[in-house]
């Protein structure tokens, strides 16, 4: 059985379909996404629906998490009149208003991480001090956004930096298994000692990536990388 893990899709439906064709899927394959189906690309709602209908397992991304949070505040507003503290632009409101009840439920039950033998799948990253099995809900939310760490392995916010900041996967010691993640777009798959970064920026005009793991007990030794090119540049990377 192959474990197939997709990088960030961000509304790139055509490429997602093409990648699944390229993979020559078999009935026993297990398909999992590292999250971020939504925003930036042209077909957010369609990607979400397509993934659910094809029974692709979703590990929560920060973009899905944003829409789940917005819905909770929106529901509270409808019940109590309390103003929603979150604001969405026109594009996000259009996506939100077109998320079906089935698609929202699919996102709401998605885990923050998924462990399969020696393999751990999550959206962004970890620190060496974070134990996923015992982490609080607030601590788990960090795995949706972690990128760089300071010299004390403290998470730095997006745009924040120090002279000796390191990307988390470059100092990760493997204590949570081999991690497959997305969130940070690289020009090619980032392979470190205990991790694979598989967001290769399809929405920015690069590639959509699937990591194919043949043995979840030895994922660093038994894998293939399958990719398709983006049809176009949908948005510019900030």
What pLDDT sits at residue 71? 96
Q: Convert the pLDDT of each residue in 50-64 to its tens digit.
A: 999 999 999 999 999
What residue ranges define each of the domains in the chain, with the CATH number in brackets? 3-229 (3.60.21.10)
Which of 142-145's residues contact partners 24+ apart within 8 Å by CB, and which partners?
A: 143/112, 143/113, 144/35, 144/60, 144/61, 144/62, 144/65, 144/112, 144/183, 145/62, 145/183
Q: Of 68, 119, 113, give the one whose Cα is nearest residue 95.
A: 68
Contacts of 152 (CB under 8 A, 6+ apart): none
Spell out, as residue ranges, where the chain has pLDDT lower than 70.
159-160, 163
| Distance in angstroms between the alpha carbons of the first and the last residue of the chain | 38
- Asked if 50 contacts 40 with a C-beta cutoff of 8 angstroms, the reply is no
Residue 238 has a pLDDT of 76
Task: Give residue 163's pLDDT.
Answer: 65
Under DSSP, is residue 4 helix (H, G, I), strand (E, B) or coil?
strand
């Amino acid at each position: 059985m192959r474990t197939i893990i997709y990088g960030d899709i961000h509304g790139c439906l055509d490429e997602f379909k093409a990648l699944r064709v390229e993979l020559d899927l078999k009935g026993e394959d297990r398909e999992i996404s590292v999250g971020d189906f939504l925003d930036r690309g042209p077909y957010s709602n369609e990607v979400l629906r397509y993934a659910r209908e094809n029974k692709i397992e979703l590990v929560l991304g920060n973009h899905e998490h944003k829409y789940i949070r917005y819905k909770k505040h929106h529901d509270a507003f409808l019940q109590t009149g309390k103003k929603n503290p979150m604001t969405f632009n026109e594009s996000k409101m259009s996506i939100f208003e077109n998320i079906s009840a089935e698609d929202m439920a699919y996102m709401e039950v998605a885990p923050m991480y998924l462990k399969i033998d020696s393999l751990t799948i999550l959206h962004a990253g970890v620190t060496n001090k974070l134990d996923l099995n015992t982490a609080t809900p607030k601590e788990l939310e960090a795995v949706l956004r972690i990128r760089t760490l300071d010299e004390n392995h403290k998470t730095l916010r997006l745009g924040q930096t120090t002279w000796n900041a390191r990307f988390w996967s470059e100092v990760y010691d493997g204590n949570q298994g081999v991690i497959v993640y997305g969130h940070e777009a690289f020009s090619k798959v980032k392979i470190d000692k205990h991790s694979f970064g598989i967001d290769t920026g399809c929405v920015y005009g690069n590639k959509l990536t699937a990591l194919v793991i043949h043995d979840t007990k030895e994922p660093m030794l038994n894998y293939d990388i399958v990719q398709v090119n983006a049809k176009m540049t949908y948005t510019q990377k900030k």
